[in-house]
Structure 1
Amino acid sequence: MKHKLGGVSGFILGLFYTVVISGLMGTVIYGGLLLLKVFAFSLLAFGAVYLVSLSRTAFKVVLIFLITAIIFTAVLCLLNESITEAILNEFEGIFRQWQRISVGLPVDFDTSHYDEVSLAVITLVASVAVLFLLNRHNSFYVLSGVVFAVFIFAWFMTLIENRLLIVIFMILTILTYIGKVYRQKSKLGLVHDDLPLGNMLLYTAPVVMIPVMIAFFIPKSDYPIQWPWLDDRINNVITYFEQRFNYIELENFSLSSVGFSNEKTRRLGGPVNPSNIEVFKVKTKNRTYLRGAVYYWYDDSTWTRSNSLAQNVNDTDVNETRKGWKDIPVDELFPYETEDDMEFLKSLSNGELDMLLFPSYSIDIEIRNMITNNIFLPLKPIMPILLDNNKTMPVYELDGGIILSDRRLRRGDRYHLSYIQPMYGETLLKKALNYSDNLYDNALRILWNKRLEIEQEYLINLRENEPQDDDKTLAELELLSQRIERIEALNKNSKEVYGIYTSLPNDLPPRIGELAREITQDLKTRYEKTTAIEKYLRENHAYTLTPDYVPVDRDFIDYFLFDKKEGYCTYYATSMAVMLRTLGIPARYVEGYVLPPEHTADNVYTVTNNNAHAWVEVYFEGFGWLVFEPTTIYAGTMDYKTVSQSFPAGTSLSYLDMIEHYRQSQSSGQSVPVDLTPVQDTEKNNHLILICIILGGIAIGCIFINLCIVLAGEIRIGRAKKEKSVLIRYNRMINWLSLADYRLLPGEAPREFAARIDSYFDLSPSFAAITTIFIKVRYGNKSVTDSEADMVRKTYKTLKRKILKEIGIKRYVPLRIILLGI
C-alpha cells in the first residue's frame, strides 16, 4: 500500500488525530479526559493498524484472519447457546451503558468493563478512519470536519471544553495543512529534493506549537468579548421577532407547556430555558400573581390537577375573606385576650378591617402571543369577568378556582375585573392569622351551647309559667341559628379543603415530614409554622435554572431538600406545599405568571414566559386561601402594607393607636399610604445605597492616590539638587500652561513666552524671572542660589492654583496627577 504520510511524521500525526478523537469520546464515556489511558489505547490501536497498512500481504492476512474469526464465532454460536447468550449479553451491556450516557438513565450493574470495550472499539474505528483520510490527498478538509463534529458532539454531551485536545487539534490542523501544501508543490516539482516532508514538519512543529500553546494557556477573562451596543441591538431584533411571530398554543396551562419539566412525563425537575415570548400586557396598580393551574395531588415526583367542573369556588373564597369572621363570637371565644387584642378581634369581626387588610383593585389583561382557553387571574377574583366591550365573559370554573373561557382567546383579546389583594406585609394581617386555628369548630361549639341555653331557659320559663317575651326569644334564636348556619357552611367548606389539600402519598420519604416537624417544633400556630417553612426554604437552598435531573429512583422533594439543595420555583413550591401537608396544614401547588418588577408610567406590565412561576397557596379559616412565596429570588414580591407603613421603622404601637390613626386618616379624607412596592424594592434601595458607597469609596480612593502621588513627587523634588528641582518645576509649569491653552507659538523665544504669560497672570516672582533662572541652568550649566530656587518654588505653587481655576471642571478628574499632570 502506497503511503503519503511521510514516514515517522505521518505516523505521529495520525496517532495524535486518533488521540484527539478517542479522547473526546472518552470524555463522553468517563465524564472526563483520561489522557494516559486514551494515549495507550490509541498507540496500540493506531500502531497495529499502521503496521498492517504498510504491507499488502499483512493487510490480506489480517483480513483473512478476521473473516475466519467471524465465521468460526458464528458456527460456535449455532452449536452452543451459552456462547450466543454471552455475546448477546455483551452487546446488551454496551447498549445499556450508552443508553445511560445518552439519556441519563441509571443502571444497576458495573459499567467499567463496557467503558473499556467502548473506548477500545472507538479507538480502533478512529485509527482506521484517520489512516484512510490522511492517506488520501484531498481528505484534509474531511478529516478536519469529522474531528470538529466530534468536538461538538462531546461538548453537547458533557459541556466539557477539552482545552488540551483543542490545542492538539489546532497544531495537527496546521501541520497537516502544511503537509497538504507540500504534496501539492511536490507534484509540480516546486520542492527541493533535500527537504523531505518529515524534516519540514519537524522544523515547523515548534514554530506552530509555541504560539498556539501561548494563546490557549495564558490567563484569560471569564467573560467573552462584549460589545454592549451591538449586543443590545441584536437582542432587541431577536426579541422583536420572537415576540411578534412566535406564540404558544395550549388548552390548559402548565409550566411544563412553557419549558419547565418534561411535558410528556410531567415529571418535575431538570434544567429549564424559558423563552422570551410575550404572553400578556397587564394594566394594574401593583404587582400580583396570575393563576393558571392549581394542583391537588403529589405522587411519584409529579403533580396532578383536577379538571372537574365546579361552581362558585372563587366566590366562596372571596366570601370567606370578607365575611369569615362576621359571625365569630369573639368575646366568648377569646375571653383572656388583652383589651388591645380584644378591640382588634372585634374590628376584625365587624368588618372594620376589611378594606384595610383586603382592599380591592382592578386589573386589565390583554392576550399577546398565546392561544388558550385559560383565563389568567389573581387569587380572589371578584366575578364576573368583563370583556373589552364590558359584556360578561362566558366562562366555566374548575376545582381550585381556575377559570376557563368557552372559546379560545387569541392575540388582542382583552378582559378586566376586580380582585381582592391581601396586604401580606401588614403586621395586622400577620397578627390576625395567628387566631385562625380551629376557628369554626370552636365558634360552633360556643354558639351551639348558647342556643341550647336559650332554648332550655325558654322551655323552663314556659313550663313554670314565668313571664317572658316570646317574640324576642324566638328572634334571638332565629338570629343565632342563622349565624350557626353560616359558620357551618364555612366549616363544611373548610373540612373539604382539609380533606383534599392535606393528602400525601403513601411512599413519601418519612424524613420530609421529620424535617418539617423539626423546623416547627417550638411553634404553636399554623401561620407561624407556615412562615417558618417558607423562611427555611428561602435561606437554605440556592436558586438556579440549571439543576441536575433528579434520578428516577429518587423522590423529587427528598432530592432537593437533602442532596442538591438547588433548583427553581417548582422545587421550592413543591417542597413547601408537601412539607406543610405533613404538618396537617392545607396547602396547594399553583402555577402561572408573576408580574415583572418593571412597568410603564401608566402601570402596564409586559409579561413573558420568563415570568412563568410556581408558588404555594395555604388555607386559613376565616381568611380563605393566601399566597406564600418560598422561592428565594421572589421573596417579598407582594409584601404590601397599609397601616404599619405610615409609622417609622422600629415603631411599636398598640392596635388601638394604629387603628385610631387609620380612622383619623379616613375621616379626614386622607388615605393611609399603601406600599405597593414590595420588600424587594427596599432591597433595590439597599443595592443603590451600596452602589453609592462603592462609588464614593472609589472617589475617595482616587483622591487618596492622587495626594500620595503629589506628595511623592514633591518629596522627590525636595531631595533633588537645586538645579534639577528648577528644571523639573519649570517643565511642569510649561505642561500646566498647555492644559490651559497657553503654548509657545512658532518662532517664539522663551523670554517672549514668559512675558506673554506675565501679561495673563499676576505672578510673584514673575514668570519672566523664573524663565531667566531656567535658561541659566538649562543652557548655561550654572548653579542656582537658595533664593533663586525659592523663587521658582513660590511661582510654581502660585501658578498651580491659578491653572486649576483656569481648567475648570477638569480639576475634578479622578487621578488628575496621572491623567493631567497637575
Structure 2
Amino acid sequence: MIRKQRIGFFLLYGLGFFLLWEWLRPLEQITNTGHIEYFVYFLLSALCIYFLQIRPWLGFLLKMLLIYFFLFLVFGKENSGLGGWSYLLLQDSVDNIKLLLSGQFDNLSDQFRTALLYILIWIVTYLFQYWIEVKRSILVFFIMTIFYISVLDTFTKYEAKWAIVRIISIGFVLLGLLFFERLVAKESIKIPTTAKWKWTLPLVMMISFSVFIGYISPKAGPVWPDPVPFIQSQADNVLPRNNETSRIGYGEDDTRLGGPFLPDDRVVFTAQTPSRQYWRVETKDIYTGKGWRASTGQSPLGNIQSGENIPVDPIINRDYKETQQAHITMKLLYPHILIPYGFITVKGNENGSFQYDFNLNKLRSYNEQNNAVELEQYTIEYQNKNFSVEEMRETNDHSVDTNVKAWLESYLQLPDSLPDRVKDLANEITAGHDNWFDKAKAIEQYFKNGEFIYTQEDVPVPEGSQDYVDQFLFDTKKGYCDNFSTSMVTLLRAEGIPARWAKGYAPGRYMGQNGTYEVTNNDAHSWVEVLFPTQGWMPFEPTIGFQNAVDYSYDENNDPAIPASSGNSAIEPEEQQREEPKEEKIEEPKQVENERNSQPEEKETTLMKKYQMYVIYVLLGLILIGVLLFGMRKKWLPYYLLYLFKGPSDREKLIEAYGKLLKQLARVGLKREKGQTLRDFASQVDTYYKIDDMSVLTESYERLIYQSPTSEQIDLKATKELWENLIKKATG
C-alpha cells in the first residue's frame, strides 16, 4: 500500500528536481562558483532520500557524508591523505564559525562558503518535501523561481529565455498535479494509479501545447521604455557629493583622501605564484596635507621589450633566492603591470613594448602604435628577498653617506602646514631607538596600541585647513589603510627617515589550487615603504588586521627583541621556528581584505595548539554519538522511562506515564489521529499487538482523570504493570 502511494509521488519529485535545478544553473555564469555538477548531484540525492522516506537520522548521516565527499573532491584532493584534510576541514570550520558569529562574512573561506551552500540546498529540499507531501501546494515557490530567474535575466549576463520556458512548463504541471492530490485528499477518494495517469497525460499535453503556441506566436514590441538603464544610472549617481561614499578599487587620483566607501567583491585578477606577495601598482612621494601626488621631471623609460630586465627600484641589492614566476590573469583590464617585490621582468606583450614611469614607479604596456594596451595575461619574473635585520639596524642618521642623504631629500618632504604636534608625536614614539629599523617598527606598532579603529564607515574628509594625518592621529583615530599608511609615512619623515606611499593590492585569497590567489577590488590597499641604502625599499604594514608579506633574515648573533607587528614580520627567530609548514601557512591566513571591517584574531596558546586536534575529534565523536542516540531513541527510550517511573506509583505519576506511552507509540508508527478518541486508539493498538492491555489501561487512565473521592479505587500496581508491558512492546 505504501509502495503504491510513493509511486504517485515519483513524478512530483522528478519535476521538483528540474525546477530546483533552475536555481543552480545561473551560478556558473554570474558567480565564480565551480563544480556545479556536484551541487546538482547533492540536490538529486537529497530528494531521493526524502522520496524513499529513509529514516530521518539515517538520512541526516547520508547527507552529511555526501557534503563531506563533495568537499573532498573539490578541496581535499591535493592534500596529503584523507585524515590530514579532515583535520584541516574541522579547523577551517571552527575558524569560519568564529568569523560568522562576529559578522565578518567577507572573510569566510571558499571551502566554508561551499559547505554553507550545500546546507542551503539541504534546507530547500526539506521545504520542497514539505510543500509536496504536507501542504500539497507549490505556488509560492513557483512564483519565487520566476522572480529569481527574471531578475538575473534583467540585471546580469545570464540568458534566461529557455529557463523561463522550462520553469513555466514544469511549474504548471506541478500546480495541476498538486491540485488533483489536494482534491483527492479532501474528498477522501481512493483512486488507482492508472486513473491518476489518465489525469496527468492530458494535463502535460495541454500545457506543452499552450507553451509551444505561446513561444512561436508573434509578440508586440515593448510599450514602455526599458527601465533598467534608468535604474542603473540612478544607482551610480545616488552617492552624495560631499564626504561621498566611493566604491573601493584602484584609482589614480589620490589628491584628496578620506571619506567612507562601498565594498566591491569583483575579481580584478588571479595570480599563480609560489609565495604571497604585495602587488604594487605605483608609489607617490609628495604629501600635500590632504592627499598624495607624485614628483615630476623624469621622463619615462620606453620601448622595453618583453623579457627585458626593467630597472624597478635599482638600488636594491639583488642578493636573492632563485628566480620565481607569477602568472597573472586579469579579470578587470588595466594597462598597468603589477609589480611584486624583487621584480625583474615581465613577459606577455611580444607585439608591443613597456614603459616605466620613474615618477610613479609604474609600469605600463603599449602596442606597436604606442597606445596603452590592456593585457589579459602576462608572466612576471621576480626574486624573493630576505631583508637583513642586522644591516637595517646598522642604518641611522650618522651611517648614511652625505651624497646619499642629498638624494633622499625628496622622500623626507612634509608640508609646511603640518602641525607641530605630529612631529612631537613622532619624536615621542621613537624615543629610545637609535636606528631607522627600530624606529620604523616602533611607529608601525604604535597603531596597534588599541586606540585606533579600522572601519570603512563614518570616515571624515578633512575640511578647510585641517591636515589629513593630524585629523586621524589626534581627532578621529578611525579609518582604513589610507589613513594608517599616510600617517606612518608622515611620522617617519618627521624623524628624518626616508619613506614613500605605495598602493596596489594585498595578496588576496588563497584558492588552494596550484598556488593560485584571487584578488578582488576589496583587496585594493596602500602601505608604507622605507628606504634602507643597503637593502632597498622595505615594506611596512601599519594597518590593523593586515599581514606583511616580506621575509626577514635573522643574521645577528644577539638579536634584541623586535617590536611585535601585525604581520608575519618582526617576530623572534624562536617564534619563526614554531610556525607551521609553508603549505599550511599559506592556507591558514585569512588575509583581511582591504577596506574590510575586521579585527586580528587572538593567538592560541601553545597548549591549545598541541591538543586542538584531539579536542576536535572528541567533539566530533560526541556529536556523532548524540545523532545516533537521537535516531535510535525509540529503542532505548522505553527502558529509560521504565527507570524513570520505577518504584511505587501514585495517580499523578500514572497519568504522566500514560502520556509518555502515547508519545512512544507515535515514534514506532502507532500515532493517534486528530479527533480520534482514546478508546478507539486503544483498540487500534490492541489489534496491532494482538492484546487487550491498552484498552484496560486506557479505561484505568480515564478513571484516574475523572476520579472522585467516592469512586471505586483503582489498583495502581496492576495499572502500572499494564503500562510496563506496553512500554516494553513499543520499542519498534
TM-score (norm 1): 0.44
Higher helix share: 1
Q: Which has the larger radius of gyration?
A: 1
TM-score (norm 2): 0.49
